[in-house]
Structure 1
Amino acid sequence: MSLADLRAKVAEFVAARHWQSFHNPKNLAMSIAIEAAELQEHFQWLTNEESLQYVRTLEQKLDVADELADILIYCLSFANSTDINVSEAVLRKLARNEHRFPRPEKS
């Protein structure tokens, strides 16, 4: 499924529930942050190695995937509500980051 298809699916979900009035930049930005915090909770106090092991367990991986999906759903809804082309935004940002963080020179 393409990014455009996912955006349309999210828009359909929101419209079917008449949530458009709640899906404004402020509320969606807050929701993205809240869901990101819920993702962080899974790894709070774990070492780096423990966090890698955590996502190797199917049940925990599915829980983490659900949190990631929540974040992405809110991000797509944010893009829908602000008419931001996510593909263009990501490509533009990657191009800027190429200049900010050049590849290391080969030694």
Structure 2
Amino acid sequence: MASSLGELTEHVRAFAREREWERFHTPKNLAMALGGEVGELLAELQWLTPEQASAVMSDPELGPRVRAEIGDVTIYLVRLADVLGIDLVEAAVEKLEEAGRRYPVEAARGSARGIPSSHDIG
């Protein structure tokens, strides 16, 4: 079992290689598959109240489904980053540093205005 992001990347890469799926794992195809899996995750949470969503992992039926969808999202994201040569940890740290500059603690603490919208993130 993989215990680090690097080990998971190797495991996913080997999984694809053993099945000779590399030719299908183009950035476009992987991004589309990732989007589909994110949609499936959203579908599991879509009609839940905020309270139900916060407690979803305690639900014996929904919890495992949410966990499985998050697993699928992670696998496709890891594979896409691997194919593109992106270090996921490095990319995330850089993005957090950028967000820290754009949303300093003093201006953003406790305010929804400090939460970036989708057009602010990219």
TM-score (norm 2): 0.81
- Shifted more, 22-31 versus 58-67: the winner is 58-67
Residue 46 of structure 2 corresponds to 44
The size of the alignment, in residue pairs, is 106
CA distance in 2, matches of 1:84, 1:21: 19
Structure 2, unaligned stretches of length 5 or more? 110-122
Matches within 5 A, 1:76-91: 76-91=78-93
RMSD: 1.5
Residue 74 of structure 1 corresponds to 76
Deviation at 1:59, TM superposition (A): 3.3
Matching residue within 61, 64, 76 for 2:63: 61
Structure 1, unaligned stretches of length 5 or more? none
The code of the aligned residue for 2:34 comes to I
Moved over 3 A (4+): none
Residue 22 of structure 1 corresponds to 24
CA distance in 2, matches of 1:44, 1:95: 31
| Identity over aligned pairs, percent | 35
CA distance in 2, matches of 1:3, 1:46: 31
Cα–Cα, structure 1 residues 53 and 86, in superposed 2: closer, same or farther, change >3 Å?
closer
* Partner SS, residue 68 of structure 1: helix
TM-score (norm 1): 0.91
Residue 35 of structure 2 corresponds to 33
